């Protein structure tokens, strides 16, 4: 028995010989072909810990049988990809992005919306919604009339993710009061309601956002280009060619003068980098058409 299999022998419901290097290689291939995700050998135990619950839930006794069942089963394959890409998120993560959005970008977008022009913002890879609601409350700021004002304009905020479960959490917009405490106090006062240990985003704020499932590597149905795109801590999963293609698509999808915000460990790379000027820490401006 190899050392890898022995390492897993004490986990319930799975015998020690059912997760092999061949199983990991299969997951590597599926993850890359389906979502562009790169799984290095050091991730083998992480893959096991993320997928073992799905194997047990599906009543399989071996990884090999479970992985074989994924052929033609898009729903279960999506569950696998979502399990592999679970990412820790919280309100106002990388707060310098929201400082820039609030101070430099929001006034321009609000003026644009008030002048009757369309404004589009995209939270790509929104996970359970903390990023999205951080964007929206930053945009609304400390003017209690702003949500009603923007409701009468052509300002739309799109939030997308691959995982239906996290999208449902984002739509519900209810979080532990401890979790939401990272939101500035005045924004919490204006745009949320607290009931004991739970705090919920106000309905007038929720009405500004549409949540939809989207695989970033597939076709994008959006017809309008965006003023702002947030895509943070998503590209870390992808190989270099996939990152370059995604950056190019974001550049295409941004309006001239639009802003792209990415994660702290990510970089704008590839030919499209010439179209995006870095103006701050992981903040990029599109110049030209």
Sheet holding 254-262, edge to edge: 209-213, 155-161, 119-124, 226-231, 254-262, 283-286, 276-280
Angle between helices 21-35 and 74-84 (to 10 degrees): 100
Catalytic residue among 16, 50, 93, 267: 50
Quote the percentage of the chain above a pLDDT of 90.
80
Residue 15 has pLDDT above 80, yes or no: no
pLDDT of residue 4: 47
Q: Hey, what domains does the chain have and what are their CATH numbers?
A: 3-84 (1.10.155.10), 95-286 (3.40.50.150)
Tokens for 55, please give them.
């194997």
Other CB atoms within a 10 A radius of the CB of residue 213 amount to 12
pLDDT value at residue 11: 53
Q: Decide if pLDDT at 8 tops 70.
A: no
With cut-offs at 50, 70 and 90, classify the pLDDT of residue 85: confident
Indicate which residue of 79, 120, 161, 227 is catalytic. 161
Give catalytic status of residue 56 as yes or no: no
Per DSSP, what are the bridge partners of residue 230?
A: 123, 261
Q: Return the pLDDT at 122.
A: 99
* Active-site annotation holds for 161: yes
pLDDT, tens digit, for every residue of 124-175? Answer: 999 999 999 999 999 999 999 999 999 999 999 999 999 999 999 999 999 9
pLDDT given at position 31: 92
Report the pLDDT value the prediction gives residue 30, as an integer from 0 to 100: 94
100-113 pLDDT, tens digit each: 999 999 999 999 99
Q: Per-residue pLDDT averaged across 173-195, rounded?
A: 96
At 212-239, the pLDDT tens digits run: 999 999 999 999 999 999 999 999 989 8
Whether residue 49 has pLDDT greater than 80: yes
């Amino acid at each position: 028995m190899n050392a890898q299999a022995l390492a897993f022998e004490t986990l319930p419901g799975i015998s020690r010989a059912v997760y092999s290097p061949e199983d990991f290689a299969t997951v590597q291939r599926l993850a890359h072909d389906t979502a562009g995700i790169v799984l290095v050998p050091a991730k083998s135990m992480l893959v096991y810990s993320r997928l073992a619950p799905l194997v047990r839930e599906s009543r399989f006794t071996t990884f090999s049988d479970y992985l074989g069942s994924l052929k033609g089963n898009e729903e279960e394959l999506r569950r696998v990809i979502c399990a592999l890409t679970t990412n820790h998120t919280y309100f106002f993560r990388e707060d310098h992005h929201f400082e820039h959005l609030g101070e430099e970008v929001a006034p321009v977008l609000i003026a644009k919306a008030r002048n009757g022009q369309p404004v589009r913002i995209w939270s790509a890879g929104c996970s359970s919604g903390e990023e999205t609601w951080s964007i929206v409350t930053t945009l609304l700021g400390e003017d209690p009339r702003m949500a009603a004002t923007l409701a009468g304009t052509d300002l739309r905020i799109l939030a997308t993710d691959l995982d239906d479960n996290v999208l449902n959490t984002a739509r519900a917009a209810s979080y532990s009061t401890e979790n939401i405490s990272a939101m500035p106090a005045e924004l919490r006062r204006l745009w949320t309601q607290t009931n004991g240990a739970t705090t919920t985003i106000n309905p007038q704020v929720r009405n500004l956002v549409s949540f939809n499932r989207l695989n970033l590597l597939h076709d994008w149905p959006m017809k309008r280009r965006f003023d702002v795109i947030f895509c943070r801590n998503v590209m870390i999963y992808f190989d270099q060619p996939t990152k370059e293609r995604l950056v190019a698509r974001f550049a295409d999808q941004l309006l001239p003068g639009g802003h792209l915000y990415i994660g702290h460990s990510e970089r704008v790379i590839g030919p499209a980098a010439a179209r995006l000027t870095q103006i701050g820490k992981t903040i990029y401006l599109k110049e030209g058409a």
